[in-house]
Amino acid sequence: MSVSLQSQTVASRPCVFCGKTMLSHLTRCPHCREDIPQVRVASSRARIGGREQIRRGLLYMLLAGVIQYFAGGYSGLTPPVAVPPVVTTYLAPAVFLSGRCLSERPRLADLRILLARQVVGYLSAYLAQIH
């Protein structure tokens, strides 16, 4: 709602207590004399990046190292389930590079290209082994 006073536009809104029209810049209703609470709307856009993304990237890199260590046979422990070589050849490096892409914000586009090339290289090598 708006009221025009001599080519000036003044914004108005209804009072949350009595429902009568009041100017939007007022903090107290002139009719019922109640203080109008100030409501601040948070930004609807979520913050991209930040510490959470860097932490997630470092966690993925750590997860890839643990997968490579245990599935690759570098530990003295024997896994209870047979781990296929695809895990150490393709999965662990892909998880590591994904974590690197998440943790490196400035060069994110370059790292995505690197990850895509690495995955394509791994898949082509895997397909060459099959045929």
Res. 60: pLDDT tops 60: yes
Q: What is the DSSP letter of 15?
A: -
Residues 117-123: contacts with CB under 8 Å, at least 24 apart: 118/93, 118/94, 119/90, 119/94, 122/89, 122/90, 122/93, 122/94, 123/90
Instruction: Give the separation between CA 106 and CA 57, rounded to whole angstroms.
Output: 14
Q: Tell me how crowded residue 17 is: count the other CB atoms within 10 A of its CB.
A: 13
Q: Write down the pTM of the prediction.
A: 0.45
Mean model confidence pLDDT for the chain? 78
Q: What is the pLDDT of residues 63-119, one digit of tens each?
A: 999 988 988 888 888 888 888 888 888 888 888 888 877 776 555 556 666 777 777
Contact 34, 18 (CB under 8 A): yes
